Amino acid sequence: MLYIIGLGLSDERDITVKGLEAVKKSERVYLEAYTSILMVPKERLEAFYGRDVIVAHRETVESNSDDILRDADKIDVSLLVVGDPYGATTHSDLVIRAHELNIPVKTIHNASIMNAVGATGLQLYSFGQTISLVFFTDSWRPDSFYDRIKENAAIGLHTLCLLDIKVREQSIENMMRNRPIYEPPRYMSVNLAIEQLLEVEENRKEKAYTEDTIAVGVSRLGSDDQVIKAGTLKQLLDVDFGQPLHSLVLVGSRLHLLEAEVLREYAVDLDGLNLVLKRDYGIDK
């Protein structure tokens, strides 16, 4: 059996009982280590699970999936995924490959940012399409996400923005020379995400959002030191959200009174937030 097991959001204790049982009986255990990160090192997982954990980088999962699937028709193999197993399409590809090899697959789900974002007080059924923001470079500043935000905004829905991480990335020079040298890990902050969003809006000028759009920045959601801060994009621009991982929500115009009440609890500037709620969202105290 191939088990694909969600680890949840924070540390080694977030695994489900069912997931832990599968790990303990697996002969090989892999940790997918590039679509997201856990907030503890793999050694903490090994100590808690009682199994060696093999870190599976992007090339392992995407290009060398046969290494993971080897003998999985005869023994139990587990692939550990931060959050929920199907937060990234990569894992769907692995399932298809396993089925082609007549390997049984069992998925064990867990919490992910896609549902834990409800901790912001925003109602999950009021979210529209989720978008991903990548690091801009001098020559590559993609804005395809903007149309998805605009579509969500047109019907008043919130937009969850997943922020880029760069793990085990090569420079163009090292890639061209086929040198296995990797850049230091980078994790996009809420602050940089807002800078890039406002840059794209300045270029597009279609008002999918403005610097006065209310947003919620979160970091390390699900951990004991999680941070949730609400305000306008301009207000959040200079807020310190601390260590990764960060995410950002753009709040839609169909904001419910109860949602607004929770946002006030997380406001970085309550008076300023109330002003925008009344002026732009039609919500008074």
For the annotated binding site for S-adenosyl-L-methionine, the residues are 9, 84, 87, 112-113, 163, 221, 246
The C-alpha atoms of residue 97 and residue 100 are separated, in whole angstroms, by 5
**Strands of 214-219's sheet, edge to edge?**
131-133, 159-163, 246-250, 214-219, 227-232
Residue that has been written with the tokens 């990548």 in this structure:
134
CA atoms of 170 and 181, how far apart (whole Å): 6
Q: Say if CB 187 and CB 165 are below 8 A apart.
A: yes
Residue type, 162: L
In the annotated binding site, the residues are 9, 84, 87, 112-113, 163, 221, 246
Distance of alpha carbon 113 from alpha carbon 139, whole angstroms: 30
Identify the burial level of 43 via C-beta atoms within 10 angstroms of its C-beta, where 0-12 means exposed, 13-18 middle and 19 or more buried.
Answer: exposed
**Rounded CA gap, 1 and 75, in Å?**
6
